[in-house]
Structures are given as structure tokens and as C-alpha cells.
Chain A
Amino acid sequence: MKPSPRARRSAARCVAKYLAIGRTGFATAVAYRGEYLLRSVMLLLILYVFTVLWRTVYAAGGHEVVEGFALRDMIWYLVITESIVFSRPRLAGRIDTEVKAGTLAYTLVRPYSYVMFHYAQTLGEALARGLMSFLVGGALVTLLVGPPAFNFGNVGFFLVALLLGATIDFLLSFAVGLLAFWIEETSPIAFIQDRLLMLLGGMMLPLEIFPAFLRTIAGWLPLGMIIYAPARLLVGANTLRPWTVLATQAMWLVVTGVASTWLFRAGVKRVNVHGG
């Protein structure tokens, strides 16, 4: 069955709606130049310290390549993982506030889906921050260790994996924020989620470097699919199978998607308690 021109037109408008919301997210992220600058300084500091650190480690170990990573790869891996972590908005906290203040209820008066609204906004913000981090960090690292030796054949897979990873991260944080319908304070949970993501998601180290048991634990969690997997497709020995990564991400997408949809449905019924 062919879609009628009218249906096609309204679908186009629907897409335009969420694109506009994403653009607003982008604009919000760059609205504060001071914060934007401070983030970049932080990132440069981290990258510089880690470069010095890894130089010493590689020199002391006496190996050119560790687990498929040359020194240069290790630093560029960091540029990508740090850019992903720096790009994340504090979504869980934002949803938590909206639930508690009752503003969630007010956004329901508008003709859009609450989940899609936040998804579009989050992606817009993440794009602004992530791009900036990658450019600033990449420039410094190029000066320190030279240009990247990416697996350029994987760029397409990398971009898809990046988007899927960001979506999994979004759904997880959205679910954590929605817990505010049932518990007083969700920030400890968000804190744990953030730290676990940094440690077991492979922000500082590629998962190969972990001891076996930690690798096993990390393998059972979706966190590696957010940071490690996309970064790894682009940097280091080209041993990751792209389709396996995408399939695993798709599986986690379904799990986190079902969980947060269920929480949202159950939560909206409780809006009355907080909406007063």
C-alpha cells in the first residue's frame, strides 16, 4: 500500500518537528560559552595527563603494541571515549526534576511524545558537545602523538554504533530519572550509573586491558556498548566484528527500550501525586 500524499506530508512534518527540537538542544548546549570553554579546558588537561602517563607505561613495559594498541592508538581511543562522555547531558537529573516539579505534566499539553522530545533534545546537545570535544581534543593530541591511524573502513559502522550507543545511554538515563516517581532521590543511582559507565564502559581503558573477570562483568552490561564498542571499531587492531557489535547494541536497545517504556507508562499514571 502506498502512503497517501497527505500522510507522507504529515510524516515529513513530524520529522521536521523533532529535527527542530534537536536543533534547539544544539543551540542550548552552545548558549553558555563559558561552560563550553571550561569543558574544553578540562578535556585538554585530562588528555595531556593521560598522554604523559601512557608514554611512561609504554616506555617501562618495553612493548610497541599492547593488546593491539600502539601508544598513538591508545591516546586517540581516549579522545573518542572522552568525547562521548563529555557529550552526555545530565538527562537523569533533568527527568528527575521534571517529575518532582510536575513540569512533566505540563509538557503533556503539547503535540509531541515526551520520550521523543527528550531524545531529540539529548542528541542535539550531545552532538554540539561531542563534536567540540573531538575537535579540541583531536587538535591537541595531533600535536602530541600525531594524526590518528583509524580503521577508516569502519567509519560508517562507527557512526551507526555511536548513535545506537547514545540511544541505549539515553534510555538508561531516562529510566533512572523516571524512578523519581517512586523514590525520593534518584541522584545516587545516576551517580553510580555514571561511574560504572566510566569504569566498565571502557572510558579510560579499552576492555582488553582489564583482568578476565572484569571483562566478563563488563561483557554482561550494556555500558561497553555505549563507549567501548563504537570507539573500538575505529581505533586499535581491527578485530571487532562490526555486525556483531550492531546486533548486540540492537539487543540492548530492545531491553532498555522496553524497560523505560514500561516505567514511563507506569509513571504517567502517578502524575497526579506530584502534579497536585
Chain B
Amino acid sequence: MAAVVLDSLSKTFSTRVKGPGLRGSIRSMFRPEYREVQAVQSIDLTVDLGELVAFIGPNGAGKSTTIKMLTGILHPSAGTASVLGVEPWRNREQLAFRIGAVFGQKSQLWYHLPPLDSFDLLAKIYELDQTSYVTRREQLVETFGVRPYLNTAVRKLSLGERMRCELVAALLHRPEVLFLDEPTIGLDVLAKQTIRSTLRELNANEKVTVFLTSHDVGDIEELAKRVVIINHGQVIYDNRVSHLRHMLLRTKIIDLLLAGPGVVPPLPGVTVIKHTNVGIKLEVDTAVQPIREVVAQLLAVNDVVDVSVTDPPLERVIGLIYRQAAPQ
């Protein structure tokens, strides 16, 4: 069964445009001019129950707008969507019991109170049974390792500590679908890893559907199996994460460690990235030049200590997709 279905979902904002300077201000007071901005243009997408999907795109691509429509905050201008079979903006409060959301840029905990008080209050808000709430809370407190901070006011927590508490808060009511809008933004490597591994476990053990937006390639590589890329409000890529590299990248990186100065045989489709006394780094266009041929020639003419052939970093792949989909 599908957890989230988007059916030609669209959202148009009309923003007021103002001419420059005081004259523009006065004119726009009497004769306001509006400009239509298509934030989301007819997105079709289906996410199955238990899937972990990364929803990515450059700034202003329409990610947050989409998440806000799916959580019932915004009404779409056209098209429709359903989350767990419910239209979010029509049955917001009813759906709220079954979904969870974390917005990395906004805290949802009570700023002046310790997290434990926020959790207690959320248990009441989500109408949980006291016993099942306590069991669940203890389990989450253990998994996210937030026990030391339970009684410290939220305003005194570090970003990483707070974010883990935010996730506990979002999961207390056992949501079936979890929306995460940049959950690792601004966190250090260690905090990111804790959050990623815990989310992976939750997705595997409890079959929570996770819908995640992020700018962090690590989130996508380590968490998601499927990635949906949007730009200018449209889906431009929807496939497995592992597929990203193979489909789009015809290039490989060859890294050589040498015993002495090396030589690069002149071959078509080969670009030198770096050439020093002890090493050579090459990029090979595999459509023009088979990788086997390049490696063989390199080994033949150089005194090679070590060799590695790798894919370019995912970050570059995504950058490539963003640029390809730039407006005409």
C-alpha cells in the first residue's frame, strides 16, 4: 500500500512586487502588482509504506512547500495528495495523530522547559495512554541517548542534543509516516551519524515511512535507498540512490601512487586532474575510452606503487543534475 501519493500536486504563490525606491513603494500601495511564482508544478509521486525516500533539490526548488502541503499546513493550488489515505489539509488534526514531523530549522520543543516536560505534554496532546507512553519514551530515550539532557531546559542544550530530543518528540506517538525537513542541518559529524543510524534502525524495525529532505549528501547516501530530485517545482530524477552514479556518470577517477615521476599516455577522453612527482589523478570518460585500456597503459609505462579506481563524489553528480535541469 502507498503511504504518500502526490497527484499533479501544484502550488502557486502570488507575491507583491514593488518598484524601486519610494516612488515604487507609493505606487504599489495604490496599485499593487502581483507576480505569480510556481513553487511546485504538477508533481506525481508515490511512496510505499516502509520506504525511506530522500527528497532533494537546490534552494527554492519546492521541497519545503511540498512537505508543508503533505503535513496539512498549506493548501495546494491544484492537484491533490493523500497521506495514509487522507487529504492532509482537509483532515489536518485527524492526520496529525498518525504522522510526525521534524523541521531542522524550527524547534518544536518548549524552549524554557526541560525536554521531559515537553514529552509529558506531547503525550497528553497526542492522547497517549500513560503506560504505553512511558514504555515508548524510555525506548526512544535509550536509542537516541538523550537521558543526560532530560532535565535541562531546552534553551541550554546544544544543537545536536536538541535535535535528538526533537526526534524523540516526533516519534513518541508512533507515527506511521515521518517527515524530516533537513534534520541534520548544522550538526557535527558525530551527531549526524547518531541520527542517521537511529533513523535507519527505526525504519527497519518499525517500518516507519520516512520522507526526508536534505542538502547533505551523507544523509542521502547513508539513509535513503531511493532519491527524488526536484528543481523548479518539478521532479527531474526519481530512482535508486545507487543508480544515480551509474546512469549519469560515465566518468571514473583513477588515482595512482608512484615511485618516481610519471607519464600520462596521450589518450582521448582522459583529463589530468593532478600530476605531481609522486602521483597522478585522472578523470576518464568511459564512453570514449574503456577504463581497462587506460589502466593497462598507465601500468605499462609507470612505476606504480598503488592504484585505485573510484566514482566521482555523489555531491558532484547531484550538482551535475541540478545544472542540467536549469531553465532553458
Which A residues lie at the B interface, using CB under 8 A?
10, 13-14, 16-17, 19-21, 24, 27-28, 31-32, 102-103, 105-106, 108-113, 269, 271-273, 275-276
Return the contact of B72 from the options A13, A19, A31, A108 (Cβ within 8 A). A108
Which B residues lie at the A interface, using CB under 8 A?
11, 13, 15, 64, 68, 71-75, 92-94, 96-97, 99, 101, 103, 106, 108, 110, 112-113, 117, 120-121, 124-127, 153
Return the contact of A28 from the options B71, B99, B110, B126 (Cβ within 8 A). B110
Interfacial chain A residues near B11, Cβ < 8 Å: 272
| Nearest B residue to A19, CB-CB | B124
The interface residues of chain B, by DSSP majority, are classed as mixed
Contact (Cβ within 8 A) B13 A105: no
Could you jot down 18 A-B contacts, CB within 8 Å? A10-B127, A17-B124, A17-B125, A20-B121, A24-B113, A24-B121, A28-B113, A31-B112, A32-B112, A103-B106, A105-B73, A106-B106, A108-B71, A111-B125, A112-B125, A272-B13, A273-B13, A275-B73
A213 to B64, CA, bound (A): 55
Contact (Cβ within 8 A) B113 A27: yes
Contact (Cβ within 8 A) A109 B96: yes
Interfacial chain A residues near B93, Cβ < 8 Å: 111-113
| Nearest A residue to B127, CB-CB | A13
A10 to B93, CA, bound (A): 14
Say yes or no: A31-B153 contact (C-beta < 8 A), given A10-B127, A103-B106, A272-B13: yes
Say yes or no: A272-B110 contact (C-beta < 8 A), given A20-B120, A109-B96: no
A108 to B95, CA, bound (A): 11
Interfacial chain B residues near A108, Cβ < 8 Å: 71-73, 92
| Nearest A residue to B72, CB-CB | A108
A111 to B93, CA, bound (A): 5
Return the contact of A111 from the options B15, B97, B110, B121 (Cβ within 8 A). B97
Going nearest first, the 8 A-B pairs with the smallest beta carbon separation are A20-B124, A111-B96, A13-B127, A109-B101, A105-B73, A31-B112, A111-B93, A108-B73
